Amino acid sequence: MAQGSRIEWTQATWNPVAGCTPVSPGCLNCYAARMALRLAHMPNGTGRKYAQTAKRARDGRPVFSGHINLDEQNLDLPRSWKLGRTIFVNSMSDLFHDGVPDEYIKRVFRVMEECPQHRFQVLTKRPERALEMAAQLPWPDHIWMGTSVETRAYYERIRLLQRIPAKVRFLSCEPLLGPLKRMPLAGIHWVIVGGESGPGARPMQGSWVLEIKSQCEAKGVPFFFKQWGGVRKKEAGRELDGRAWDQMPGDTECQRNPSMTA
C-alpha cells in the first residue's frame, strides 16, 4: 500500500512494482535494496511482494537481485485516495526496468492519468526505455518525469529525458558522487541534490552542490537540496548557505515544501 514518506521532496510513496537491478555507481549502497531485504522477511503480503527481489552481495551489502514482482493488488490504490498529494512512484523499484511489461507500465500510467487530484513523480535510471514508450503513454500536467544523474558520465540520461513530453521534467542528483559542470538544463524544470546516506555512504563535497545551485540559478531552474547525507544524516542536516532550499516547479517564491502544496 502507499505510505506517507520521509523523503523531503514528496508526501507519499506508491509501489506497484517491487525489485530492480543495479545499473550505475549510484546503486552501490541502495537504500531500497536494504529495505527490500528486510521487508521480504515479513510474514504477510508485504513479504510476498518483496520475495526474491534482494540478496546479499559477497561483501555483505544488500543488493537488488534483478527479480521483479508486479503488485496488481496495489495498482489502483491512488483511485481511492481522494485527498490530493504528491506521490513518488516506485520508490522501491524502477517503473521502466526491462522486467516490467509494456502493458503493465501503460496500466500504471492510466491510473495516474485518471487521478488528477494527485501529483505523480516518476523517477527512472532508464530514460531510454521511457523515451521509447513515450508516444504510447499519456502526459497530463500532473505526471512528472525524472531521471537520476550521479556523475557526468550519465549526462546522456538528461538528453533522453529532454525528449520526453512531460510537463515537468526533473533531475535527481542523488547520491551526488562528483561535480556536475555545465549540465544540459534546457527543458529541465527542477533539480534535486542530495548526498548518500546510510552504511558505507560516500562523501559529497560542498563545492559540487554549490556548482549545481549556481547553474540552476542562472537558468531559472528550481533547486531542492535534500540532504548532506553521511552515516548520521540527521546530524549533518540539510542546510546550505545557512538555510533550507525547498524550491519546487511552479512555486511563486520557490521556497515552499511539497508537504504544503498538494
Task: Kindly report, residue by residue over 145-197, the tens digit of the pLDDT.
Answer: 999 999 999 999 999 999 999 999 999 999 999 999 999 999 999 999 999 99
Which pLDDT belongs to residue 178? 98
**Model confidence at 232: pLDDT above 90:** no
**Model confidence at 256: pLDDT above 50:** no
**Model confidence at 233: pLDDT above 90:** no
Which pLDDT belongs to residue 255? 37
Grid look-up 542530495 returns 194
**Model confidence at 262: pLDDT above 50:** no
Q: Rounded distance, CA 71 to CA 18, Å?
A: 7
Tell me the pLDDT tens digit for each residue of 61-96: 999 999 999 999 999 999 999 899 999 999 999 999
Which pLDDT belongs to residue 217? 96
Q: Mean of the per-residue pLDDT values for the chain?
A: 93
User: With pLDDT > 90 as the criterion, what percentage of the chain qualifies?
Assistant: 87
Which pLDDT belongs to residue 3? 64
Q: What's 211-237 look like in SS3?
A: HHHHHHHHHCCCEEEEECCECCHHHHC
CB atoms within 10 A of CB 261: 16
**Range from 100-104, 172-176, 198-202, 212-216 carrying the lowest mean pLDDT:** 198-202
Q: Rounded distance, CA 144 to CA 89, Å?
A: 10
Which pLDDT belongs to residue 260? 32
Asked if residue 55 lies in contact with residue 37, where contact means CB atoms within 8 angstroms, the answer is yes
In this prediction, residues 28-37 reach a mean pLDDT of 96
Domains of the chain with bracketed CATH: 3-17+77-260 (3.20.20)
Which pLDDT belongs to residue 258? 36
User: In b/e form, how buried is each residue of 182-217, taking b as 16+ CB within 10 angstroms?
Assistant: ebebeebbbbbbbbbbeeebbebeeebbebbbebbe
Closest CA to 211 of 225, 232, 196: 225
In this prediction, residues 203-212 reach a mean pLDDT of 97
Q: Rounded distance, CA 69 to CA 66, Å?
A: 10
Which pLDDT belongs to residue 6? 84
Strand partners, 86: 119
Q: What is the DSSP letter of 131?
A: H
* DSSP H or E stretch at residue 104: helix 102-113
User: With pLDDT > 70 as the criterion, what percentage of the chain qualifies?
Assistant: 94
225 vs 43, higher pLDDT: 225
Q: Rounded distance, CA 101 to CA 41, Å?
A: 26
